[in-house]
Chains A and B, each alone.
Chain A
Amino acid sequence: MTRLSRAAGWPSPWPSLLGLCLITWLIGLALALPHGVDRAIQQWESELNDHVVIALPPADGRHAEQINTLPQTLMTAFPGTQATRLPDRDVERSLATWSTPWEGPLPALITLHYHGDMTALTSFVHQHSPEARVIPPPPQLTKLTPLMTGLRHAAGNIALAAGLGAALIVPALLYLGARTVALANASQLALLPTLGGKTSSLHHVLALRMALMIFPGSLAGIGLLVPTLALITSALRPLLRLPPFAGFASAFHAQTFLPLSLWGILFLLPFLMALAGWGMVHLVLFRQEHRS
């Protein structure tokens, strides 16, 4: 360490460290919340029963052709749907759970993943096979859609408010830190030119020290964020009907619903904060020197 570095005064770093730790944690939560909620809702929706069941009369000679061609016709007419005819054994087992053992010829059942308009589907099926009965999925998804939309909006609004708050607090915090550093070194900065030194040398020392102070503070915030997200996901796990938490080692990003790119941004935050702090110190010291 040079004499110039040792000459630089440094105020207590704890308030800035603590502030940056908390603000990074808040930014992380703000970034993670909408993604997490969106992914959680997708997961939830995939767990819901959205199967449409089409019941057709027993496959005698007259209907056999219709029954065999219907799944393929449906998949052609409604792209993206997946139609499957249930094997007789599964049909028999399903009917057995509803009533006494089925004695007559078994009806044909076709299951279909379909999220579109039920009327269009029903009329299409009836055109193909007038005797068919279309059984729509339980109305749970219809009831839950407004709730999920509200949840998405709420998450977005909370994230926006937290993001705006952070956008105001971070520059203020960095400015406060830089100003404190500038004031603590005012006498050193005034003395340096009289000894034939460049004030920019001390600016570099102070900016670098500020960046090195911000980085661990922000990193601590990320360190706090990871267990927080794990805790939130763990708490919501039964509600979302997820398998039990398998620990940090097994694809943590998948366990917390956050994409890898977002994790990348979160771990980039300490570097960005340090860079912003470095720049802020240079800016404040330059302005102070310009004024004097």
Chain B
Amino acid sequence: MIILKTLPLPVSTTLMPQGVQPLTLRVERGEVLWVTGPAESGKTALLETVALRRPVTGGTLSIMNHEAGPRLSSGTHRTLQQRISYIEATPRFMDRLNVADNIALPLELNHVRQADIQRETDSIIRWFQLEGYAGALLDALSYTTRLRVACARALITQPAIILVDEPALTLCPALQDRLLTTIRGLTKNGATALLATQSPTGNPLLPGRSLSLPQASPSPPDSTASRDSLTVPLFLSPDDKGLLP
């Protein structure tokens, strides 16, 4: 269960003049939440905060009955990190390990038996069709393949909270289908999923509640600023005025 109370999230000043939106939210166990909104509306910031990668600077955040503030002990922080998986837009890996070892690493860090690690890794590598890359280093792979590896690494531990940023949901339809199918299976077993996308409707493959960001209504457009009043940036020549809307 995830509970946010007036948690300040950054947002673009073009969407909200004050640049911060206070968010109050409650996501139950087994629930799927589609976080939608335009670019810079705070979707990634919300996922990073829930993933405990961004400090909580105000309001309150409770994850699985633990207050995620500055007073969170390092032991609890680590336990929560083990239960949360975040598929970032630009996933990072252990560069010296190959694909299979990168996927298996979270299990090793959780002290799972080697035989189980091998079995689970083989299984998820097959599921995400990464057999051909198992021994390859991540530097040599394309961005989409790296995203597939990130998905496999995030889901191998069967986390309690799954956070997915947009690229993994939009870049490759095949990857999207497999990812959403896996997440649907995990949410049936009680996992909570937060998925960020710019699309206003989620995905029929994984139905769930939708949260539109930014939460507060955007500021009204400046009445004095009109289409004609737009000035040409200095780096454009007068001939480039046609580029303006």
Residue B34 CB within 8 A of the other chain = no
> What are the residues of chain A within 8 A of B106 when measuring CB–CB?
195-197
> What are the residues of chain A within 8 A of B101 when measuring CB–CB?
3, 6-7
Instruction: Decide: A187 near B97, CB < 8 A? Known: A4-B109, A7-B105, A196-B109.
Output: no
> What are the residues of chain A within 8 A of B82 when measuring CB–CB?
196
Complex CA distance for A8 and B94, rounded to whole angstroms: 8
> What are the residues of chain A within 8 A of B109 when measuring CB–CB?
4, 192, 195-198, 201
Nearest CB in chain B: distance from A187 CB, A: 7
Helix, strand, loop or mixed for chain B's interface?
Answer: helix
Nearest CB in chain B: distance from A194 CB, A: 6
Closest A residue to B159 by CB, please name it: A196
Nearest CB in chain B: distance from A147 CB, A: 61
Complex CA distance for A40 and B140, rounded to whole angstroms: 65
Residue B188 CB within 8 A of the other chain = no
Residue A144 CB within 8 A of the other chain = no
Residue B110 CB within 8 A of the other chain = yes
Residue B126 CB within 8 A of the other chain = no
Residue A9 CB within 8 A of the other chain = yes
Q: Verify A3–B53 contact, CB threshold 8 A.
A: no
Report the interface size for chain B: residues with CB under 8 A from the other chain. Answer: 24
Residue B139 CB within 8 A of the other chain = no
Report the interface size for chain A: residues with CB under 8 A from the other chain. Answer: 19
Complex CA distance for A194 and B51, rounded to whole angstroms: 8
Complex CA distance for A197 and B74, rounded to whole angstroms: 11
Report A's interface with B, CB cutoff 8 A: 2-4, 6-9, 187-188, 190-198, 201
Task: Contacts A3-B104, A7-B105, A192-B109 known; list 15 others, CB within 8 Å.
Answer: A4-B105, A6-B97, A6-B101, A8-B96, A187-B92, A187-B95, A190-B92, A191-B94, A194-B81, A195-B105, A195-B106, A196-B106, A196-B109, A197-B78, A197-B105
The 10 A-B residue pairs with the shortest CB-CB distance in the complex, in nearest-first order: A196-B82, A197-B109, A7-B94, A196-B81, A3-B101, A195-B106, A7-B97, A3-B105, A3-B108, A191-B92
